[in-house]
A and B are shown apart, each in its own frame.
Chain A
Amino acid sequence: MRILAWLQRKKILGRIISIVAVLVFILYLLWAHDLLRVELFEYTTRALTENWKALLLSTSLLATPLTLAAVGECINERAGLFNIGLEGIFFLSVVIGVRGAEIIGSGVAGLLVGLLTGALIGFIFSVLAVYLRANQLVLGMGINIFAMGMLAYLLAAIWAFPGIHSVRPEFHISKMLGYFTPIFFVAVIAAILAHIIIHRTLFGIRIRAAGEKPEAVDVAGVRVDRIRILACTVGAALAGLGGAFFALGWFGEIVKEMAVGMGFIALAVVVVAGLEPLLALAIAFVFGFVRALADWVATMPGINVVLPGAFYIMNMVPFLVTLLVVTIFIGRRKFPRALGKPYVRE
């Protein structure tokens, strides 16, 4: 009993209960799919060891947009703005970025247009949240829903072809070594820069203070509103770059439901990273890797004979792993006290 009380006091009990709950849930799914089998792990280890080079190279593709969006979100959450509209930013910047590339005639310019699209959305978001004290969660969800409709509407309205559009190959940003995208370096640089700005500069101190103790910033004579707007604009701009990457750096095509679910996985990355950009980079890479690995396992020779229907579970793996990892790490993370709350001068 004494141990139980100690666990309770240290808030470990709640975490243990939660982790057990997630594990039970995963066991239920494996049981329901007839996959409580040791072969599942054999295939996974084989997939890990057989061709890890290609696996790692292709991970860069999923990790790039995740990192960009997560690092951006780290910046604006540090400043106290919680933007869950990342998915919406992906949707809009992908279509406007491609349009920009076609009008200007360059793929890199298209990426920049995507970046600006994200910045504009972030700017509008922050103005509404800071000056009009909008509910940030509702606002973000509104952006997601608006963008979902807009992507499909714009595809039909601009290119007169419902659901799909191909980008000219000269606008593609070529990959290296087959599946590795050079834009991943941009994501790495963004993460390092964000780390330096947040931890090593005066502006970073102000951003953190705006999220932690906006009153103090205000008393010191610094405008909380401007810091928050700037942070959110920069943060969303990175997500916008990530969105444009899908069409210009990865596929060279746009479809109606591009990048579904990725914006929310990016949010999970931010939570696990505890708003640290460098950690976000690492965790985004891990999440991208898990997804790539799951698809690798699902396509292995003979797996459908030994483990019929394994692909259903493999399709879920990225989401289950996210859930489990978030649950394990959540208790250790601290978030800004004023996160999601509008600042009102007293």
Chain B
Amino acid sequence: MPRLFDAIREYLGTLKRSLAESLFALLIGLLIGAGLMLAFGYDPIMGYISMLKGFGIFTIEGFLAVLAIIALGLLLAAFIGAYWAKIPQALARLWRKKISGRSISLVAIVVFILFLISRMLEFLDNVELMEMLAYSVPLMLTAITFAVGMRAGIFNIGAEGQVYMGAVAAAWIGGHFALPTGLHLLAATAFAMLIGAAWALLPAILKIRAGVHEVISTIMLNWVAFFHVPYLIINRFAGVHAERTATILPTARYPILGASLTAVIFVALAACVVVYILLWRTRAGYELRLVGDNPDAARYAGINIRRAILISFIIGGMAAGLAGASQVIGRPLLGWTLPATLGTVFGLGFSGIGIAVIGRNHPIGGIFAALLFAGMLNGAKFMEYDWGISSELVVAIQGVIIIALAIPALLAMSRRGVRRLKIRRGPR
């Protein structure tokens, strides 16, 4: 057990510093949002109270549940983080029917925590909470795309297009092939990730071979996907209704936990943890981060910079592909279909940028940032319904938060106050 506590302490330790910054930036964003509401004659306090409804924490049990789920999630993440190297072995042993107490307990604990969370969600039946969680799934994944890029020193904003490609890939496998339960789900998910990564390959090649700036190549590919995917849907993968893909077969759907939340959230959380492990617990991850932190040092250390950049693009593409799949086979939207208007996947990639920035480019931080943004997005409709405040204001607030977090001296400001801020001289 001590290893477990160490892991938890480590998480909290890394999170603490960035948490202060993120909260300060959030405060700035909300204040400017309030100013914008005041400027056009709306009541900001009532507006924000309405927005809070979106978090599903207006009841005490809802609030406690959110805390409990975060705690359980953290425990799970820490557990996997601490014992991750053992889990494949344990599974392998179970597979070979060499049952040992240790391997059983390892697997059993993971399964138990998952079970606990899903039972709790079912028991609560808090629609807004579930909606918030469902909203957060694709967002935490697209945040990974951007975060991993930033860790490798790459400004990868191609999640948007990779999400479209992943979504249509999942819809194709999920709607047009008859496969057994389980395998079908796995195949659709894996294929979506593969196609997402494939779509990220071209900018990666252009970056490492010719030095084309990724901001330009990824944006161009986003637009290409924006016109390519509707063509595929209407002309290749349409179902009974020509404006959307065929309905996802029941064998390829993630089971619903409540409202529009499905078990895909566990896959998403696992993906976040896996990316964390990859980046902080493996050699390849260390090299990737070194390339981003200090390319010169990486070059002297003999690290293959091209490979590190390629890996960051591929991880990003897989995460974005999974995000696309999560909106098609992991959420009962439009009766389990993907529309040619791309409405259910549009904008997820761009939101991911903001979430990654607030999560300080950390996959675990991204989970919390995604929950926050999902709550705000989900709450924006109450703002509009109750007071007529345009829900687009939330996007503007998001922008302010990102601008605030672009400033490294922000924490210093929050601590010392703006007046006493001194610009440090000399190298960092």
Q: Do chains A and B touch in the complex (CB under 8 A)?
A: yes
Nearest-Cβ distance from residue A82 to partner chain B, whole angstroms: 9
Which A residues are CB-close (under 8 A) to B426?
A: 344-346
| With A18-B205, A316-B223: A330-B210 Cβ-Cβ less than 8 Å | yes
A84 at the interface (CB under 8 A from B): yes
| With A149-B396, A330-B211, A344-B428: A139-B227 Cβ-Cβ less than 8 Å | no
Contact yes or no, A14 B393, CB < 8 A: no
Partner of A271, one of B36, B213, B232, B353: B213
Contact yes or no, B209 A17, CB < 8 A: yes
Q: Considering the chains assembled together, what is the distance between the CA atoms of A79 and B181 in angstroms?
A: 59
* Chain B residue at smallest Cβ distance from A136: B406
Contact yes or no, A32 B399, CB < 8 A: no
Binds A, one of B2-10, B58-66, B214-222, B278-286: B214-222
| With A138-B357, A319-B220: A146-B425 Cβ-Cβ less than 8 Å | no
| With A132-B409, A141-B157, A344-B427: A156-B392 Cβ-Cβ less than 8 Å | yes
Which A residues are CB-close (under 8 A) to B212?
A: 18, 271, 326-327, 330
Q: Give residues 138-160 of A contacting B (CB, 8 Å).
A: 138-139, 141-150, 152-153, 156-158
B190 at the interface (CB under 8 A from A): no
| With A143-B403, A344-B428: A264-B228 Cβ-Cβ less than 8 Å | no
Which of A15, A17, A156, A345 has the most chain B CB within a 10 Å cutoff? A156
Q: Considering the chains assembled together, what is the distance between the CA atoms of A318 and B312 in angstroms?
A: 28
Which of A19, A137, A141, A156 has the most chain B CB within a 10 Å cutoff? A141
* Chain B residue at smallest Cβ distance from A146: B399
Nearest-Cβ distance from residue B178 to partner chain A, whole angstroms: 24
Q: Considering the chains assembled together, what is the distance between the CA atoms of A158 and B41 in angstroms?
A: 11
Which B residues are CB-close (under 8 A) to A33?
A: 231
Which B residues are CB-close (under 8 A) to A303?
A: none
Q: Considering the chains assembled together, what is the distance between the CA atoms of A148 and B346 in angstroms?
A: 14
Contact yes or no, B215 A143, CB < 8 A: no
Which A residues are CB-close (under 8 A) to B405?
A: 138, 142
A315 at the interface (CB under 8 A from B): yes
Contact yes or no, A128 B223, CB < 8 A: no
Nearest-Cβ distance from residue A4 to partner chain B, whole angstroms: 14
Contact yes or no, B216 A268, CB < 8 A: yes
Contact yes or no, B392 A152, CB < 8 A: yes
Q: Considering the chains assembled together, what is the distance between the CA atoms of A267 and B386 in angstroms?
A: 41
Which B residues are CB-close (under 8 A) to A32?
A: 228, 231-232
Partner of B399, one of A84, A144, A319, A323: A144
B40 at the interface (CB under 8 A from A): yes
Contact yes or no, A139 B403, CB < 8 A: yes
* Chain B residue at smallest Cβ distance from A24: B202
Q: Considering the chains assembled together, what is the distance between the CA atoms of A312 and B394 in angstroms?
A: 33
Q: Considering the chains assembled together, what is the distance between the CA atoms of A32 and B229 in angstroms?
A: 11
Q: Give residues 216-272 of A contacting B (CB, 8 Å).
A: 261, 264, 267-268, 271
Which A residues are CB-close (under 8 A) to B428?
A: 344
Contact yes or no, A147 B402, CB < 8 A: no
Contact yes or no, B390 A17, CB < 8 A: no
A185 at the interface (CB under 8 A from B): no
* Chain A residue at smallest Cβ distance from B424: A344
Nearest-Cβ distance from residue A256 to partner chain B, whole angstroms: 8
A25 at the interface (CB under 8 A from B): yes
Which B residues are CB-close (under 8 A) to A319?
A: 220-221, 223-224
Q: Considering the chains assembled together, what is the distance between the CA atoms of A135 and B157 in angstroms?
A: 15
Contact yes or no, A267 B216, CB < 8 A: yes
Partner of A315, one of B219, B227, B403: B227
Q: Considering the chains assembled together, what is the distance between the CA atoms of A146 and B157 in angstroms?
A: 16
Contact yes or no, B406 A135, CB < 8 A: yes
Contact yes or no, B395 A152, CB < 8 A: yes
* Chain A residue at smallest Cβ distance from B223: A319
| With A29-B228, A128-B406, A149-B394: A326-B400 Cβ-Cβ less than 8 Å | no
Which of A25, A331, A345 has the most chain B CB within a 10 Å cutoff? A25
B12 at the interface (CB under 8 A from A): no
A169 at the interface (CB under 8 A from B): no
Contact yes or no, B357 A316, CB < 8 A: no
Which A residues are CB-close (under 8 A) to B231?
A: 32-33, 309, 312
Q: Give residues 281-340 of B contacting A (CB, 8 Å).
A: none
Nearest-Cβ distance from residue A143 to partner chain B, whole angstroms: 7
Contact yes or no, B392 A146, CB < 8 A: no
Partner of A153, one of B230, B357, B392: B392
B11 at the interface (CB under 8 A from A): no
B397 at the interface (CB under 8 A from A): yes
Q: Considering the chains assembled together, what is the distance between the CA atoms of A21 and B213 in angstroms?
A: 16
B206 at the interface (CB under 8 A from A): yes
| With A137-B155, A142-B402, A156-B392: A21-B205 Cβ-Cβ less than 8 Å | yes
B67 at the interface (CB under 8 A from A): no
Q: Considering the chains assembled together, what is the distance between the CA atoms of A323 and B206 in angstroms?
A: 10
A174 at the interface (CB under 8 A from B): no
Q: Considering the chains assembled together, what is the distance between the CA atoms of A18 and B428 in angstroms?
A: 36
A–B Cβ pairs within 8 angstroms, 20 of them: A17-B209, A22-B206, A88-B399, A134-B408, A137-B155, A138-B357, A141-B402, A142-B401, A146-B398, A147-B399, A149-B395, A152-B395, A153-B36, A271-B213, A312-B231, A315-B227, A319-B221, A323-B206, A344-B425, A344-B427
Query: Which residues of A pack against B, CB within 8 Å?
Result: 14-15, 17-19, 21-22, 25, 29, 32-33, 84, 88, 128, 131-139, 141-150, 152-153, 156-158, 162, 261, 264, 267-268, 271, 309, 312-313, 315-316, 319-320, 322-323, 326-327, 330-331, 344-346
**Other 14 A-B pairs with CB < 8 A, given A148-B392, A331-B210:** A17-B205, A22-B206, A134-B407, A142-B401, A145-B354, A146-B403, A152-B392, A153-B36, A153-B393, A312-B228, A316-B227, A322-B220, A326-B216, A327-B206
Query: Which residues of B pack against A, CB within 8 Å?
Result: 36, 40, 155, 157, 202, 205-206, 208-213, 215-217, 219-221, 223-224, 227-228, 230-232, 235, 350, 353-354, 357, 390, 392-409, 423, 425-428
